[in-house]
Structure 1
Amino acid sequence: MKALVVRGGWEGHRPIEATSLFLPFLELSGFEVRIFDSPAIYADKSVMSDTDLILQCVTMSSIERDALAGLREAVAAGTGFTGWHGGIADSFRASSDYLQLVGGQFTTHPGIIASDRKGDESDNFLTYAVDITPLGRDHPITAGIDDFELTTEQYWVLHDDLIDVLATTTHPVRPWHPWHRPITSPAIWTRQWGKGRIVVTTPGHSLDILENPNVRTVIERGMLWASRTASAS
């Protein structure tokens, strides 16, 4: 089995350190791992046709047309595609074709009350629940995981109904926010795209969140589930 790790974009999500947390797991799971620092590799048809799994951690940034076409074609042909947080759900904002592929797009992470803000990333850290859905209770990625809490960025996601939601998170009504009713966003989802499987996990802003046992388990199981070998079985 062959895995492609593509990392880069905004350095605030520490793409090198974050993906490095999962390299030993991939290798122990039998993957030959290749690492690239640009999505340009997606345009290489020989590499993509030989790839069983793509782990992407590229926040924002941009992607060329031929690279995006290569990614979409590879996934449709059976290559698995997965990642976490902004590395997959906030990649290539200017590309509508990428957004369609993934099925959900980060729009914001609500912050704490203005009077308590310090001017650093903690201004956007809230304690929130990740709630496993009925589908998620029985899914191989999330089975046996109970609802859990995190204190980190809580992603507000725009999405379509082609995704299969394994876990949600609800943004409550707070006096300093303008919405007038709770908003539920997908927190973990899968997506079938042609013959390929996609898995998105929205928690993962920092290394400590990626090392949370629940989050790490979901990401590791998601990589195995999404891989071409698993999807073909």
Structure 2
Amino acid sequence: MRQALVVRGGWDGHQPEAATDLFVPFLREQGFEVDIEKDNEVYADAARMAEVDLVLQSVTMTEISGPAVAGLRAAVAAGTGLAGWHGGIADSYRNSSDYLQLVGGQFATHPGKHPQERVGDASDNYLRYTVEVTDAGREHPIMAGIEDFELETEQYWVLHDDLIDVLATTTHPVQPWHPWHRPVTSPAVWTRLWGAGRVVVVTPGHSPEVLTDPNVRTIVERGLLWASRTESE
């Protein structure tokens, strides 16, 4: 059986247990044996990581040790897939530049509503926005057949490098209550090749409700399979 490792934890606002539980049955249906860990130190166990075909990570913020991030990088370089969504992969381990280099993009912010529309809870950052599929995305198995779609949730502004392959984007418009002066386009879905391994990042996914959107769920499920070692070999 293929081996999937779910590593989850960090900030509770992203509901890492409920969110990853949405995909554990899918992975099992696809022939994976699934192990779940709450401690990212599992990455430092080289013997165990050598047997893992896919890591599904949902760990927002928190920290990671040097041996753990080195172990994750080595496992991916050797062929272990790494995939996740939203802050669980794009806003993990802010103390680690080595992790940032591995995934290729880092959460910077999620712009908010007009100040007069804010009520003091998470919905202050829920905006209606469009996820636009790129030309490269239309030719990629993760995005095949998916057209541009709209969501109302956090719209991630991501800092990234040019080693990623961008499958979908989202554009932050100019608003009078924000300090930027021209629209900013950020990757919303990307892949990255790292040694023999594959990385997939999907920025929508603030809550289980967002992950059950048919487009988002399809992208995540396909991304998990595409990233897996046995798929990439």
Settle same-fold status: TM greater than 0.5: yes
Letter of the structure 2 residue corresponding to residue 6 of structure 1: V
Post-superposition shift, 1:79?
A: 0.2
- CA deviations over 1:65-111 (Å, ceiling 9, x no partner): 10111000000000000000000000000100000000000000000
Distance in 2 between residues matched to 1:94 and 1:44, nearest whole Å: 21
Aligned residue runs from structure 1 range 168-207, under 5 A? 168-207=169-208
Q: Who is 1:148 aligned against? A: 149
Offset of residue 121 of structure 1 = 0.2
Matched with 1:58 is 59
- Measure, in 2, the Cα distance between the counterparts of 1:79 and 1:102: 13
Instruction: Tell me if 1:99 matches 2:100.
Output: yes
TM superposition shift of 1:38:
1.2
Moved over 4 A (4+): none
In structure 1, the residue matched to 2:24 is 23
SS of the residue aligned with 1:2?
strand
Once the two structures are superposed, residues 94-144 of structure 1 have per-residue CA deviations (whole angstroms, 9 ceiling, x without a partner) of 100000000000000000011111000000000000000000001000010
> Could you tell me how far apart the structure 2 residues matched to 1:111 and 1:84 are?
20
Backbone CA RMSD of aligned residues: 0.4
Structure 1 unaligned segments of length 5 or more: list them. none
Percent identical pairs in the alignment equals 69
AA matched with 2:143: T
Aligned to 1:122: 123
Q: In 1, Cα distance between the equivalents of 2:39 and 2:213?
A: 27
In structure 2, the gaps of 5 or more residues are none
- For 1:141, the aligned partner's letter is I
Give the Cα–Cα distance (whole angstroms) in 2 for the partners of residues 130 and 116 of structure 1.
23
Helix, strand or coil at the partner of 1:24: helix
Q: AA paired with 1:49? A: A
Task: Tell me how many residue pairs correspond in the alignment.
Answer: 232
Counterpart-to-counterpart distance in 2, 1:70 and 1:25:
26
User: CA–CA distance in 2 between the matches of 1:225 and 1:102?
Assistant: 16
In 2, distance between residues paired with 1:128 and 1:10? Answer: 24
1:168 Cα deviation from its structure 2 partner: 0.1
Counterpart residue identity of residue 67, structure 1: A
| Counterpart position of 2:84 | 83
Aligned to 1:139: 140
3-state SS of the aligned residue for 1:135? helix
Q: Distance in 1 between matches of 2:157 and 2:179?
A: 14
The separation in 2 between residues aligned to 1:189 and 1:130, in whole angstroms, is 12
What is the aligned partner in structure 2 of residue 230 from structure 1? 231
Aligned residue in 2 for 1:208: 209
Letter aligned with residue 192 of structure 1: L
Equivalent-residue separation in structure 2 for 1:166 and 1:52 (angstroms): 23
TM-score normalised by structure 1 residue count: 0.99
Query: Aligned partners of 1:44 and 1:95: how far apart in 2?
Result: 19
Q: CA deviation at 1:175?
A: 1.1
TM-score (norm 2): 0.99
